[in-house]
């Protein structure tokens, strides 16, 4: 027998027959499957094929052995790593650094789910936190300082900074920065910027006023005339609060537990995007919304998971349309939550199928009128009986839809609920978006719908807001009195009159 180390590999040659015994354990079996495949004859060919090894262990297929060999190769032929199934993901640190820096406002748990989903990696949350604590702190600190100075970042961002503070080579600025966060009463040595605004609070209120006016449908040029400033200044004020979404979410304290979810199609540079909104079914006020690239299961699931992380309890009822992707996401995140399908969507789809049957105008109107009357019946049994009767008199295409999509889902239509709350909110999104000449970026679109969300909370959200929150104490009338240039309103109307002429 000879053992030679050459080119970073151990060459083992066995010149005589030998035997050995091993206890029957999972690790020993994994070792034997790989060991037998490693044996090479004098001709340089493997002594045993995968099929021969499978036969020795009474496996039904060669793939039972080949899968173990692939796992061995994935661990770079390191037998210890292969047996322990530990995969070193240290090469992912640069990718984690880039993802964390660009998504610093995202909660750590959601950040972990999004990163592993995009990177298609199997990694535990503890491992993600371990590697996140090893990333370069400079870029993260710059972004965090910008966000935390405006008080828009949550506790997860501070948690991440504390992970970074454990590094041996982290700059001293990290410790100083954390001290400033933990002791907010410390006097700042930085000189205030020269401005007609006397405090950062006044500046923030002015930014929120601009958001409110944008959410009301005004364009930058009109707002600039009202405030007697230039259009660029209005644009800067509108973009200054970098995470209006966090400010809004931190202000909401109550919700009914019943929610309605729907999506609104928007086009950004000709590319379809969707605003997915979760609206309180009772009050009609949005509880969470964001922009997503599609309406696949992953988008709905990300929306549901973020909502669950923010509000920390499951809804008691979810009302939605019959989207299969939405249903799959709901089953994944809220498998035990009751849900109802929207009656309005079912009626609309049934009307569409009746219209496609090329009936006479009177017959078409008769069926649609009858459907509306059936859904208006007070009792559940009365509505179901009416639907069953319709299957005998309507055309085959409409009858098939009634059987499969209405009666077949009757348990989730028994309450006769509609997603009117979401539909009303979607109409408001359409109105504020259609007033623009063109949406140029996802950030602009998100900021636009967040402005509308802020306006909705200021106008109707007093009962659900935290009483001490900034939005609850916002007095739009007073802000208008303080900031609108009343002396130049005649100039505003004269320009408006000229443009109208």
| Average of per-residue pLDDT across 356-382 | 86
Quote the tokens at residue 458.
């200021």
Residue-level pLDDT at 457: 93
Inter-CA distances, 496 with 213, 225, 483, 485, 491, Å = 17, 10, 20, 16, 9
User: Once rounded to an integer, what is the mean pLDDT over residues 81-91?
Assistant: 63
**Which of 19-23, 335-339, 418-422 shows the highest mean pLDDT?**
335-339
Instruction: Answer yes or no: are the C-beta atoms of 204 and 238 closer than 8 Å.
Output: no
Reported confidence tier of residue 170, pLDDT bands at 50, 70, 90: very low
* Residue 194 confidence (pLDDT) above 50: no
Which of 15-24, 87-96, 244-253, 365-374 shows the lowest mean pLDDT across its residues?
87-96
pTM of the shown model: 0.56
In the prediction, which pLDDT does 171 show? 46
**In this model, does residue 452 exceed pLDDT 60?**
yes
Q: What is the DSSP string of 376-432?
A: T-SSHHHHHHHHHHHHHHS-HHHHHHIIIIIITTGGGTTT----HHHHHHHHHHHHH
Whether 212 and 455 have beta carbons less than 8 Å apart is answered as yes
Give the closest residue to 441 by CA, choosing from 266, 302, 215: 266
Is residue 210 scored above 50 in pLDDT? yes
Give the per-residue pLDDT at 13. 75
When comparing pLDDT for 4 and 58, which is higher? 58
In this prediction, residue 287 carries a pLDDT of 94
What does the pLDDT read at residue 437? 57
When mean pLDDT is compared over 12-16, 184-188, 205-209, the highest value belongs to 205-209
Residue 495 has pLDDT above 60, yes or no: no
Lowest mean pLDDT among 13-17, 109-113, 121-125, 198-202: 198-202
In angstroms, what CA-CA distances link 440 with 18, 34, 242? 73, 56, 18
Q: Label residue 497 by pLDDT band (50, 70, 90).
A: very low
- For residues 243 and 281, the model is more confident at 281
DSSP state, 486?
Answer: G
Residue 143 CB neighbours (<10 A): 19
pLDDT band at 226 (very low <50, low <70, confident <90, very high): confident
Average pLDDT on 441-467 reads 91
pLDDT above 90 (res 450): yes
147 confidence band (pLDDT: 50, 70, 90): low
pLDDT per position as a tens digit, 325-359: 999 999 999 999 998 888 777 888 888 888 888 88
Structure confidence at residue 146 (pLDDT): 65
pLDDT of residue 493 exceeding 70, the answer is no
DSSP code string of 110-157: HHHHHHHHHHT----HHHHHHHHTTS-HHHHHHHHHHHHHTT---HHH
- What are the phi and psi torsion angles at 2 (to 5°)? -135, 145
pLDDT, greater one: 93 or 155: 93
User: How would you classify the pairing of strands 271-280 and 286-292?
Assistant: antiparallel
pLDDT for the residue 169:
45
Mean pLDDT of the chain: 79
Q: For position 359, what pLDDT does the model report?
A: 86
Lowest-pLDDT choice from 168-172, 282-286, 438-442: 168-172
Percent of the chain with pLDDT strictly greater than 90? 20
Question: Does 427 have pLDDT greater than 70?
Answer: yes
Q: What is the mean pLDDT of residues 223-240?
A: 88
217 Cβ contact partners less than 8 Å away, ≥ 6 residues apart = 431, 432, 435
**β-sheet bridge partners, residue 286:** 279
pLDDT for res 128: 80
What is the reported pLDDT for 178? 52
Give the pLDDT confidence of 460-469 residue by residue, as tens digits. Answer: 988 899 888 8
- Choose from 179-188, 447-456, 475-484 the range with maximum mean pLDDT: 447-456
Q: Is the pLDDT of residue 145 over 70?
A: no
pLDDT at residue 494 in the model: 57
DSSP helix/strand/coil, 57: coil
Question: What value does the mean pLDDT take over residues 283-305?
Answer: 92
Q: Which residues contact 390 (CB under 8 A, 6 or more apart)?
A: 367, 370, 371, 374, 398, 399, 402
Look at residue 164 in the predicted model and tell me its pLDDT. 54
Is residue 500 classed exposed, middle or buried when 0-12, 13-18 and 19+ CB atoms within 10 A define those classes?
exposed
């Amino acid at each position: 027998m000879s053992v030679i180390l050459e080119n970073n590999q151990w060459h083992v040659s066995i010149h005589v027959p030998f035997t050995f015994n091993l206890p029957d354990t999972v690790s020993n079996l994994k070792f034997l499957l790989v060991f037998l495949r490693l044996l090479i004859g004098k001709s340089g060919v493997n002594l045993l094929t995968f099929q021969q090894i499978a036969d020795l262990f009474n496996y039904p297929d060669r793939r039972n052995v080949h899968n173990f060999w692939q796992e061995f190769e994935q661990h770079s032929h390191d037998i210890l790593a292969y047996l322990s199934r530990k995969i070193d993901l240290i090469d992912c640190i640069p990718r984690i650094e880039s993802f964390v820096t660009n998504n610093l406002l995202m909660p750590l748990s959601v950040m972990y789910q999004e990163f592993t989903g995009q990177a298609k990696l199997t990694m535990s949350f503890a491992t993600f936190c371990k590697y996140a604590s090893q990333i370069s702190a400079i870029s993260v600190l710059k972004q965090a300082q910008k966000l935390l100075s405006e008080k828009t970042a949550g506790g997860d961002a501070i948690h991440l900074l504390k992970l970074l503070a454990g590094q041996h080579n982290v700059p001293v600025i990290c410790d100083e920065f954390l001290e400033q966060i933990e002791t907010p009463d410390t006097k700042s040595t930085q000189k205030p910027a020269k401005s007609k605004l006397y405090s950062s609070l006044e500046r923030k209120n002015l930014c929120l006023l601009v958001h409110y006016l944008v959410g009301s449908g005004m364009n930058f040029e009109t707002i600039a005339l009202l405030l007697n400033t230039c259009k660029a200044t209005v644009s800067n004020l509108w973009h200054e609060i970098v995470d209006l979404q966090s400010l809004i979410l931190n202000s909401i304290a109550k919700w009914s537990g019943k929610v309605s979810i729907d999506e609104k199609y928007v086009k950004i540079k000709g590319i379809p995007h969707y605003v997915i909104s979760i609206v309180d079914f009772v009050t009609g006020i949005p509880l969470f919304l964001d922009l997503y690239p599609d309406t696949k299961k992953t988008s709905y699931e990300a929306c549901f998971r973020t909502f669950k992380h923010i509000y920390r309890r499951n809804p008691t009822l979810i009302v939605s349309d019959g989207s299969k992707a939405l249903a799959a996401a709901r089953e994944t995140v809220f498998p035990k939550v009751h849900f109802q399908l929207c009656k309005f969507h079912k009626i609309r789809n049934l009307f569409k199928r009746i219209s496609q049957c090329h009936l006479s105008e009177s017959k078409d109107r008769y069926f649609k009128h009858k459907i509306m009357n059936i859904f208006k019946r007070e009792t559940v049994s009365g509505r179901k009986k009416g639907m069953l009767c319709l299957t005998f008199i309507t055309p085959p295409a409409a009858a098939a839809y009634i059987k499969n999509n209405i009666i077949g889902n009757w348990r989730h239509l028994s309450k006769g609920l509609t997603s009117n709350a979401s539909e009303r909110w979607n109409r408001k999104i359409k109105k504020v978006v259609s007033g623009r000449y063109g949406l140029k970026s996802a950030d602009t679109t998100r900021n636009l719908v967040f402005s509308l969300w802020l306006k909705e909370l200021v106008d109707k959200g007093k009962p659900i807001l935290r009483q001490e929150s900034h939005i609850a104490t916002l007095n739009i009338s007073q802000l208008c009195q303080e900031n609108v240039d009343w002396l130049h309103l005649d100039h505003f109307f004269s320009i408006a009159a000229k443009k109208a002429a």
